[in-house]
Structure formats: C-alpha cells, structure tokens
Amino acid sequence: MHDDRSLVENRLKRVLDERVRPAVYPASVPLQVGIWTAPGEPVPVAEGLAAPRTPIGVGDAWGAPWSTSWLTVSGTVPEEWAGRTVEALIDLGFDANMPGFQCEGLVYRPDGSPVKGLNPRNQWVRIAAPARGGEEVLLHVEAAANPVILDYHPFLPTGLGDQDTAGDTPQYRLARMDLAVFDETVWQLVADLEVLGELMAELPVEGARRWEILRAVERALDALDLQDVGGTAAAARTELAGVLASPAEPSAHRISAVGHAHIDSAWLWPLRETVRKVARTTANMTALLEDEPDFVYTMSQAQQYAWIKEHRPEVYARVKKAVAEGRFVPAGGMWVESDTNMPSSEAMARQFTHGKRFFLDEFGVENQEAWLPDTFGFAGGLPQIIKEAGSKWLLTQKISWSQVNSFPHHTFWWEGVDGTRIYTHFPPVDTYNCSMQGKEIAHAVRNFKDKGRARHSIAPTGWGDGGGGTTREMIAKAARLRDLEGSARVRWERPAEFFAKAQAEYPDPPVWVGELYLELHRATLTSQARTKQGNRASENLLREAELWCATAAVRTGLPYPYAELDRIWKTVLLHQFHDILPGSSIAWVHREAERTYAAVAEELTALVDRAQRALAGDGPADGEVVFNGAPHPRGGVPAGGARRAAELPQAPGRCTVTARPEGGFVLGNGLLRAVVDARGLLVSVVDLDTGRETVAPGAAANLLQIHPDFPNMWDAWDVDRFYRNTVTDLTGVDELTVTADTAGAVAVRVTRSFGASRAVQTLTLTAGAKRLDLDTEVDWHETEKFLKAAFPLDLHTDRYAAETQFGHLYRPTHANTSWEAAKFEACNHKFVHFEEPGWGVALVTASTYGHDVTRTVRPADHGTTTTVRASLLRAPRFPDPHTDQGTHRFRHALVPGAGIGDAVREGYLINLPERRVPGSADVAPLVGVADPAVVVSAVKLADDGSGDVVVRLYEAGGGRARTRLSASFALAGARLCDLLERPRDEEVPVEGDEVPVVLRPFQLLTLRLSRA
C-alpha cells in the first residue's frame, strides 16, 4: 500500500482547525457590553455591580496595568435557539498561550453570587441547557487587567511589575462577546479526534495500532460533511468508536490524574491578585466537579483556602461541600508551598503546624502527603519535619528542571540528615500543568525510570502558575484515555489513593540520601536581600516573642498573646512562598514585603519588650537586666534567661589595636590576633591557643569580589557557572581608620568605592570572644553584577558542613563528579564549618544564605587553600529592574579554632543579640539542658490554650546525646508530641523537675510539659 500517512495527518490538522472546532458554536449573536473602571484598587462586589456603565464594544481598548474593570454583558436568547444548549463566550482579549499570565475575569450573577472564572483557555459561561427562546441574559464580569510580565521574548526588563512604573496605557482589546449555541456532539468529536491524533503521533510508525487509528480517522473525515459539520458529526464519531473502544495492554502504565492549578501565592502578580486568582479558579473547579462525576481536584496551601473564606465566602461554601464529598482535596498540609532551603528550623515546622491545623479545623482532613511541585530544591532536614508533622509522603516536580544531571528515580525513599525516610514521588510527566495531551502522557511512559518494578505515576492536571485549573476539555481527554490501546491508563484519583497504590506496588524503592539539590535557580539564595533579611529578622523575633511571652506568662501571669502570634506567624509563613523569599517576584511584591516585615518587627518588638519589662521588675533608675534569647549561655547570662547587668562578670582579657608601619593595623584580644593590611584586607587571623593561622598564605580574607552576572535566562533565579570567568577584587581604599579602641572592643573600618557603589566594612574584636565580627554596609547601585565576600582558609578538607533545618549537612569542597560540580552555589542557614582533625573554622552569618566553596593547591608550599565566599548582592533586571538597589547591611563573623558545636553556638549568638531592659530581677530560664549539643529551638505555650509549656529541641552536633531537660517550674507531667503538639502514646518519665532526654544524631523532639 502506498504511504499516505502524512497526507491523512495533515488533513486531520486542517479540518480540525478550520472546520470542526469552529463548528462547536454554530450560531451566535453579539452581546451588549458596558464597562466601569475602578479608580484604584479592587472594590467590593456590591460597589462594582452598582457602578454606572459606559458602552464598550469588541475591538475597544480597556485595562491599564493592574486596574480592575467591571463589565456588564446582556442579551436575549433567540427564539429559534429554544431547546438548544446556549453559552456566553466572553473573550477579554486573551492570548490562548498565556493562561494565568494575563487578564482574567470572575463572572457574577446580578445578585452578586460568583459563577466561574474566565481565562484564555476557559472563556465560556453556560447560560441554559436547554435554553428558552426570548430568555434574557445578564452577567457581570470583574475583569483584572494584569499585565503580561513574562512575554514571548522573556526576561526583558519591564516597569510593569510595579504600580508606580507600569503606566496607564490600556493593555487589552475586547474580543468575542457573544451568545452562542453549543453543539455537544461536535465538541465530543473534537475530543475524539484530538485524543486519537495525539496518540497516533506518539506511536511507532511501524506499529499496527498507529495505522488502525489512521484509517479510522480517515473514515471519520470522509463521513464528515465540511459544509454541515453539526449534521454529520455523529456519523464521524461512529467511525471512531471502534479504535476508541480498544482496551489498553495489560502492562500499560497507570497514571493517577488529579485536577490541579498550581497557583503561585505571589510571583508576576501581587498578593492581592492571588486572592482573586484563587477565587476564579476554585469557582471554576467546584462547578466542574458538579458536572463531572469522575473528576477529582486538589489544592494545596492553607493560606489560599483562608483567602477564599475571608474574601469569597460563597465560593468557600462550595469548596467545603466538595471537600466533604471527598472530591475537592486539600493537599500538602502546609501554610504555603514554601521555599525549603532558607526557612529556619522552626519556620519550616510551623509551615506544617499551621497548614495541617487549618485543614483539620476547617475540613477534618489530615494530610498524609507534602505537596511541593515547584519548590527550588529541598533541604536535608525536611524528611524529619514531614514525618514529625504526621505525614509520610512527598510529591515534587521541580527536580526535572535540573540543568546537568537527570535524577535517577521517580519513586524513591528520601532520607534526611537524621535518617528519617519519606516515600517520595517525582512525576515522570515532568510538569505540574499537565493538559492531557498525548505527548505528555507518552513522555510520562517513556520517561518513567522505575519500569519493571513499578507502573504507577501521578499527573497534576490543569493550567497553573497563574491559576486556571482543569478544563472540561482535559476531562474529556482523560475519559478517552481511561482504557485505550497504545496509551497509559488514566484515572482521576486523590493523591493519597495514588501514594497508597504506589507504595503497595513498590514498597522498597531505592534510597536517596541528603538534600534534593536543584541544579538551577541557585541565585534565589541571594536575590532581593531585603526580603531575605526581613524573613531572618522575623524568625528571630518570633522565637524571642514566644520565649519571653511564655516566660512572663508562667512567672507573672501576663496574658500570652495567642492570637497575635498566630497571625504574625501566618504572615511570615506566607512570605516564605517559593517566589517571595527566593526573590523572584515583581517589584510590587518585594516592596510590599519590606513594609510588611517592618510592621512585623515593630509588633514583635513590642511583645518582647512588654514581656521583658514584666519579667525585669522595678528597680533603681540606672538598673538594667540583660536578656539572652539564644539557646546557649552568653557573658554570664543563661540561655533563655536574664541577669542584672551589675552582677555580670567582666569579659576576660584586654583588646588592643596597633598601627603597622607598612599600613594597616593589628588587632588582638588574647585569643585572636588579626592583621588588616593597608588595603583594609584581612591577611592574618591567628588562633593564639594553637598558634594556627586561619588565612591562607599570600591571600586576603574579607575580600569583596564582583562578577558580571547575566545568566542565559531566568535572571532573578539563575546564576550560570560562567560568571566565575571574570572577577574583580575590590582592593581600593578610600579610608582606613580605627573606630573603636577600648579594653572591651577594638574595631577598624575600611571604606571602598567601586562603580556607582560604596562599601564600608567594620572589623571588630571583642574582649573574651574568640570571634572576629565583620560588618559590611553596601550602598549598591550596580546592574547585573554579583557581589561576594571571600575568605581563603589555610585548611585541607574534602567536605564542609552547612547548617540546615534541625542540623547540618556535608557538601564536598571538590568537583569530582558532575553532581558535585553542579553545586557551585549552595545554601546555609547560620554557619558553614570547615575542619581538619583537631582544628576548624566557622563563618557565621545573620544576613546571608548563598555561598560557594572552592579549593586550590598552592604551588609554593603545596598546601590547600579552601575558599568560602558569602554571596551578598545581585542586580538582575527581571522581573524587578531595580532589584537590591540601595543600602544594605550584612553581619558575619569568622570563628577560628571552631568545632561544630562552636559554629552552632556562634550562629545563634550572632542572630539573637542580648537585650537590655530597665529593672532589677534575675530571670531563671523556663527550661534548660546541660549538653551544649542539644539546642532548644522553641519555648512557647501550647496553642490549645491549656497553659502547657511546649519545648522543641534537637541534637545539633551530628552525634548521640543523653541529657536532662530541667524546668524551673513545678512539673505535673511530660509527653512527647508531634509538631502539632498532639501527644504521642508514650509518656516521658519526670524525675522531680527534670525530664531525661535521649537523642540520635540531628533528632528533633517536641515535649509538652504540664505545670503543677
């Protein structure tokens, strides 16, 4: 037979595009449209409905960036349409290729009740089925003129991401505004032809199945009268029925489809717009659930449910009903789909605490899965947190974006730093926006790495990022793929159903140990420094507020601020969303975040101050009490306690500073001797206890270095390896002076100018501290540059430790393999630590997350130089063209001679400075532990208002610990709890006012202490 395959396939494409799809709506009449544009931010629904309208027509411009317009569309169903299905087609000027990334609308009835959302792939509104001739149609549309930030030429700098720079030029023109007849038979024919055509394109040309489909399609096209598509569509469908009924092979891959709309809580739109995006999407999805009995939809992020509850209660009522029916599935159990690299231990725990508790309180749903499809890599402490929150599964997708190495598994056990394992699935469909296209389904089958051992995977299905969700077209395709020869079998299933089947089928998959590092988006550890510093400051203040408010409640009866702390935690957790904290959102988001963090700091500082003043008591006018919120003693003040300043011992030793003849200064405090040369660079730091030099020979530390920084794409997200090819050392000095010279502290300040920017670095030695404090203030006005602070260490090691949640993990200092070479920018929390047997160095930080580590061998002495560089600032131009411009302050400290315990301690101390309050009372810590390797990460009152004291602690050194937790109040009992403060079965023995504690490496424990 002659090969006419291409002829038939091309015929199918043209007939579908030009005849069949247009025939879905065979008759239409125009709607009348009126418009009113709100003068500022979005207005309440009642105001939008009542506002006066002016006429507007198809082709007319509307919608300045970020504005909201209210449209009224009206019309009459023609008499001849009686008995037909009628829909309104409302096209606000959509680009079909940008669902979620441009204008959108929410349709309301005249009474103000929401109907459904409008977006580029969902423009229809059902009017009646069947319709009555002469029926009047009146709908209102709240239309959001969200500008297109990520356009066809992506990553171009734009002012559209901020109201102040977006301008007022209309962005859109109204397109189709019609009442139309909907032909169900033609619509079903479109789904038949699309599914078969897409499947056919994925089958081998030499296989019989492809040709069987081809011939059936040819017969269907022959049966179709292109001048009367509606009248012949049924006959065409009959020709396709046989190939659509042929069942899948017994060995076919199984795909659990779950309706989904990954809605970024902020990204190329502000938070206030996400509130409306969620309402539009959930309005659509609840309506779709009513129409499609097999369909299941899932949505994560408790914050988004809370937004609907507050702002669109009618939609929330529909959501609650669908949740109760088991068809709208709350997923993930987190407050938002947060970044997991940068949030602190407690913040990561509270993501689950607040998320799971919301779902339990609102729906009675206990999530078993963590749901993080789009997060930019996963910290090694996360498995333990997931398990302690009462969950056991994890889904992610983003690892498929890695640039260098293909992850070797799709289903696996992920083992965290403490040894906890979580059953993890990474969907082979390689998208969290699956649309049920044949190429997506075929890719999932081909790509699945666990063939022969497993045959189940999951496919989150629906338009996402900017929302939209699943469409009726996707559901129609899934119905045809339920049992179709040549395809995977597709079923709508809840995430828990998928995981239960997958784990039963494949109970012993391979194990991946340590972090799940994303080989992409590494610059998110640095972009938008103010957002990151606001997060760090908020986390520290929340720790202190809980500690001191709990202490004051127990000691003085001061009411504990349950509601305030709950609200503030949720605000901070929201801003840890994976496009806010990473610095990859538009300018509007980050300017708003800066204001929010300032308000959070003010409120938390007031809570801390109120509690501390209640604890400090009255005293002489010049009396002071020193509070230590760190989990380690400091300067005579116990961890979590306070002492009168007059009783504190003087720091041992004396600080000195001496000018060098060749320029620069020598600083000493009896523990360290630091040499700053004439360039203001740190050329020597000697540990006087051992005589060991910290800085590599011939090198200089605290060296600012600047690189060009223009990645190939994803500007705010990415730093590409070639940035290292060009580097400029900033060694010019404007001024080098001694700024402090006392017995208690000495300091040298160096001022440098470079480009359009200026940096002031202050190096301080304090009496009694084996630590050199480094303060860097940068007035930054560079563009597409990367600023780092380098510390070349005279130290030989093939690995280093970086702090993560509830512990630390080790990374190599070399690049032996492609996996190691890909980690050229990585995350730490409060410290990185380098060690040779018996001696180490820590670099601790209160300000930064990103860093890089390299090693070289010196030709002169063949010694190893291990260089760590803290990443300070970037200046990408997309999506915020003014990223990081202005003044920033960074605090680091170099700790020579540090063991891992010293690194842990100094990391906490730099982040939690002492506070001084007028008063005269010593304050004993509520709880204490004798073993310095055991860190108390939280002290608070139980969220249930019982008055129980909740203590969270963990082993921080990577070894085993056996110690005792002592309480300074009478104990009635102690229980082990999960993160939600729910007691486990076993009771903990109480011996007087002490609780014995045994911990494995990096294990976290939550204890609930009942007061007698």
By annotation, the residues acting in catalysis are 374
Sheet of strand 831-836, all strands in order from the earlier edge strand to the far edge:
735-741, 745-754, 757-766, 772-780, 886-896, 839-845, 831-836, 799-804, 807-812
Contact status, residue 949 vs residue 968, Cβ threshold 8 Å: no
Rounded to whole angstroms, the Cα distance separating 547 from 323 reads: 37
Find where tokens 């306070």 sit.
642
Residues 840 and 897 sit within 8 Å (Cβ to Cβ): yes
Chain centroid to CA 397: how far?
13
Buried-exposed string 72-89: b where 16+ CB fall within 10 A, e elsewhere: bbbbebbeebeebbbbbb
Tokens linked to 973: 């009992």
Biggest alpha carbon–alpha carbon distance for the chain: 106
Residue with tokens 């190096």: 763
The encoded tokens of residue 436 equal: 């049920």
CA distances from 878 to 362, 398, 427, 588 (A): 39, 21, 29, 13
Residues in a beta bridge with 887: 779
| 3-class SS of residue 466 | strand
Amino acid, res. 158: T
Output the six-digit token pair for 267.
């990204």
Helices (H) and strands (E) in the chain, counts: 18, 53
CA distances from 593 to 31, 577, 584 (A): 42, 12, 13
Q: How far apart are CA 462 and CA 284, in angstroms?
A: 12
For residues 638, 639, 645 and 648, what is the CA-based torsion angle, rounded to 10 degrees? 40
Prior bond of 711 cis (ω within 30°) = no
Dihedral sign of CA atoms 400, 402, 408, 413 in order: negative
DSSP annotation of 82 reads T
Tokens of 980: 């939600």
SS3 919: coil
Element of type H or E holding 447? helix 438-447
Kindly report the number of other CB atoms within 10 A of residue 154's CB atom: 12
DSSP string, 857-891: E-TTT--EEEEEEEEEEE---SS-TTTT-EEEEEE
Assign residue 361 a region: left if phi > 0, alpha if psi is -120 to 50, beta otherwise?
A: alpha
